[in-house]
Amino acid sequence: MEKSIIRSAGPPLDPRDKIRDQGDRRIITHAQRLEPVMKRAADLRSGVQDRGFNRSKTMKLIASIPEIEYFRHPEFMTDPKAIERWLQTEYGRLFRVSPS
């Protein structure tokens, strides 16, 4: 049986997100639109949006990483250097906001 995932809080999920029960296994398909994330990162890089997290600008946004990448790279959760390495790739650079 296949059903759409419904979440009451947060941004709307992609309509392609599904949960499918297959015997004793549950298969979850997750999709995410990356264009808005890439556009936000590009806007932040160009200075269209404020880069600081607080008024004193002591905290800075380095990247805007799509949540789908955390599914594709579970090592992000345990190895901060894995994120840094990924942000150095051609694909990862699309989501960088700050050079530091």
More confident residue, 100 or 37: 37
Half-sphere exposure of 53 (CA within 13 A, CB side): 7
pLDDT of residue 6: 44
Domain boundaries, the chain: 1-31, 33-100
pLDDT digits (tens, 9 = 90+) for 24-50: 887 777 777 888 888 888 888 887 556
Quote the pLDDT of residue 43: 83
- Residue 10 pLDDT: 44
Q: What was the pLDDT predicted at 3?
A: 47
- CA pair distance 78, 74, nearest whole angstrom: 8
Half-sphere exposure of 90 (CA within 13 A, CB side): 0
SS3 (DSSP) at 57: coil
pLDDT, tens only, 60-90: 778 888 888 888 888 999 998 999 999 999 9
Rounded CA gap, 78 and 2, in Å?
A: 32
pLDDT for residue 1 is more than 70? no
